[in-house]
Structure 1
Amino acid sequence: MAASLSVAAAILGAGGAALGWGIARKLTAPIGPRDFDLTVHGVEQADGQSRLVLDRTQGTEAQGVYNLWFERGGWVQLGSEVDDRGPRCIARTITGASDGFTPRAGDLASWSGIYYASPADAGLEHRDNVIVTPVGHAPAWRIDGDLSTWAIHVHGLGSSRAGTIRGVQVATELGFTSLVVSYRNDGEGSLLGNGRSTLGVTEVEDVDAAIGYAIRRGADRIVLFGWSMGAAIALQLAHRAEYRELIVGLVLDSPVLNWRSVIHANCKRAGLPSSAGALAMPWLMKGPLARMVGLPTALPLEDFNWVKMAHELTVPMLILHGTCDNSVPFATSKRLRDQRPELVSLDAFDAGHTLNWNTDNERWHATAANWLGQRLDR
């Protein structure tokens, strides 16, 4: 009996180890191609407007404004009105499109909250810049304003710098100079090693280089806009002693404040027990196991548990977070706000992960603009 139990325990242990390895590999996977999993079933013309007929999904039915990226190139922006087209389809009005692009029935497309492809699409004059980072060159967009106050916009895991343009309009309205950055292994910055993400642990050095760029050009106040993992990067930088007087505010959308809770949430979203996330932690945080996952180093993720370290935070922050976020739990942001209400402001949206702006862009814009205006006028 004892021998049988030992064999069973060994099998279970091996299965758990394999699952943990798989979760860690999935979480840190290199950037892959976009999934074009939506079919355009029809293009309707009425009242001088074009509407696309699409599959009815949780995304396509969601309130707010979104973008469709097409497999054959090009994109269209879609308005907030959702028209019923039977039990399996809906229709949405096209409100904008990339130059010369006309969608057709049968096109394959990808649903996205990344509403603008470039600053120009958002009506922003910009120039292309390159930030010299410790591992190579990282492209960035620069939108000029007051050279004493800069906003640096940091995208999240699996996204691109274009995703942060939703917040750049606020900084521009307030007169800041903006820098919209990329970083290693995000598909635009330097490709390092096998292209795996280190969940902000090493990527932070590339954003640090962007701060140096801003300082050399006159910045004496910096606001960091961080989206998802970009917020985890922003918090690391704001925590550095040399930036305590320089970084004056954080605007964080759907922020990763505790990687352990995020990993548990994503396991649940994938149909696994949330507790399966615990199996991945050793594969991320212990050197020999992390290297077996393909990571260059162990990731000290508990060092970035900002709920646990709430008492150490010093930079005021505005958090914009969706109560329907099943990737980065809203409850974690609420817990941080409750621990440091004098430092942390929290605005809740009826939205999924990083879709707060899309759900109600006017409120997102007004909330961020008012908070920054009050903060920087002091």
Structure 2
Amino acid sequence: MQRTAGIVLTGLTTAVVTGFGVASAMVARRVIAAGRVHHSEVLPSSSPITVRLDRNAATGLPGRYGLEFDDGSRVIVGPVIGRETTDGSVMRSVIAGRVPAGATRTRFTGAAVTPADLGVDEAHLATTPSGAWRFDGETDSHGDSDSQGDADTGNDLDSDSDSDSAPHDGTWVVHTHGLGASPLATLRSVQAVQRTGVPSLVTNLGSAFTERRSGANAADVDRVVAAIDDAVALGARRVIVCGWSYGAALSLAAARLRPEVVQGAILISPMLSLRETVRHAATVAGVPRILVWSALGLLGSPLLARAAGVRGAVPVRELSAGLIPGLPTLAIHSPGDTTIPVELTRAVVPGSPSLELVEVAAAPHGLEWNVDPDAFDAAVRDWLDAR
């Protein structure tokens, strides 16, 4: 009987441990995944210069946005120009692109700045050895860009970019997007930086730029470091990292590895600590804290991380280290952010004298620029000018 009871107890223990491990792996996959795609319904419209969408928390927002369609095409839309009371739909103007014939759904995104807006032909983007996109700063007060549109798409580290004669005085900005976002999403901050005359690189996190979404990868920090090194090879004497959401944690981790050159950080809707952000999300969702810590431990193990679909360990400790003491940092965040609440950023302000927090109008996560581009651009310009 005792032996039988021992076998049963062992079996139950194994089942519990196995179940806990499976649950931990599921939580870990949620932490590092690109997230579920939220589509908006495209409704019939009588005009090719407008698009009618079902109304939800995003589609009725003020400002300019991007629409991504299943065939890979993109459309830029402007403000709401009409609301239909009978079906609750909203009509928005089409600024660039064309809604595909017969389209019935779209992904409503904040990626509303295109390479063309930066004076660059998307088919002829200059790239660096790490795969980063390169955007030169504007060279005159009329907003004309350098002749980068004619640049070769191959690696571009030629001596023409000598920082000694450049108006940006050797400063480059390296931009990194967040989980589930497109590298195109960073072009909003690239545009703000470009208008100050400062050139930019956009980090390639490992997926093709034509792919719109990517989850976390064990090599993400290394890729940001590689983009920083590319900027140095292009003549940068100082680099400012610019991270969106999860890209903020990546940028800070990379900055710690290149302290001799990184001299500032711009962080938008920032994840300042992976652990704190996940803990907060778990609390809101009612997920037991022990399961969260187990999932983060799993991601930090090269062997166990495979259960979450990651080859190699995600550097959880490095992505949870927070702000860098003494590093001049600008954070742009909105009180409307429910994904990474602004309270998490406000909480570190008293102990971070080198941090400047700019809060813009209420906007969902990552849409600060879209709701108030003037305030966003002014914050970036003023902060860069002060540097």
Q: TM-score range by the shorter chain?
A: 0.7 to 0.9
2:303 & 2:75 partners in 1: Cα distance?
A: 46
Cα deviation, residue 39, structure 1: 2.3
Q: 1:334 to 1:292 in 2, by over 3 A?
A: same
Equivalent position of 1:346 in the other structure: 357
Cα deviation, residue 279, structure 1: 3.7
2:254 & 2:72 partners in 1: Cα distance?
A: 36
Cα deviation, residue 151, structure 1: 1.5
Equivalent position of 1:113 in the other structure: 110
Q: 1:20 to 1:187 in 2, by over 3 A?
A: farther
Identical residues among aligned pairs (%): 26
Cα deviation, residue 36, structure 1: 7.3
Cα deviation, residue 262, structure 1: 2.2
Equivalent position of 1:179 in the other structure: 201
SS of equivalent to 1:336: coil
Question: How many residue pairs are counted as aligned between the two chains?
Answer: 349
Cα deviation, residue 320, structure 1: 0.8
2:374 & 2:137 partners in 1: Cα distance?
A: 23
Q: Is the 8 A contact 1:238 1:315 kept in 2?
A: no
Q: Is the 8 A contact 1:264 1:274 kept in 2?
A: no
Query: What are the superposed Cα offsets for residues 168-226 of structure 1, whole Å, 9 maximum, x if unpaired?
Result: 12211111122222122x33499xxxx9633xx52222222222222222211222211
Supply the AA of the counterpart residue of 2:350: D
1:72 & 1:97 partners in 2: Cα distance?
A: 16
Q: Is the 8 A contact 1:42 1:106 kept in 2?
A: no
- The within-5 A match list for 1:1-378 is 11-29=15-33, 35=37, 37-45=39-47, 50-81=49-80, 83-86=82-85, 88-98=87-97, 101-104=98-101, 106-116=103-113, 118-123=114-119, 128-133=125-130, 138-144=131-137, 146=166, 148-184=170-206, 186-188=207-209, 197-198=216-217, 202-240=219-257, 242-244=258-260, 246-267=261-282, 271-273=285-287, 275=289, 276-307=291-322, 310=323, 312-340=324-352, 342-349=353-360, 350-374=362-386, 376=387
Supply the AA of the counterpart residue of 1:297: G
TM-score of the aligned structures, taking structure 1 as reference length = 0.80
The RMSD of aligned alpha carbons is 3.2
1:140 & 1:8 partners in 2: Cα distance?
A: 54
Q: Is the 8 A contact 2:192 2:381 kept in 1?
A: yes
Query: What are the superposed Cα offsets for residues 343-373 of structure 1, whole Å, 9 maximum, x if unpaired?
Result: 0011123122111111111111111111111
TM-score of the aligned structures, taking structure 2 as reference length = 0.78
SS of equivalent to 1:338: coil
- Higher normalized strand content (fraction of residues): 1
Query: What are the superposed Cα offsets for residues 33-57 of structure 1, whole Å, 9 maximum, x if unpaired?
Result: x947322112144xxx943221121
Cα deviation, residue 328, structure 1: 2.3
Structure 2 unaligned spans of 5+: 139-165
Structure 1 unaligned spans of 5+: none
Q: Is the 8 A contact 1:43 1:50 kept in 2?
A: no
Q: Is the 8 A contact 2:51 2:99 kept in 1?
A: no
SS of equivalent to 2:111: coil
Cα deviation, residue 317, structure 1: 0.5
Cα deviation, residue 334, structure 1: 1.3
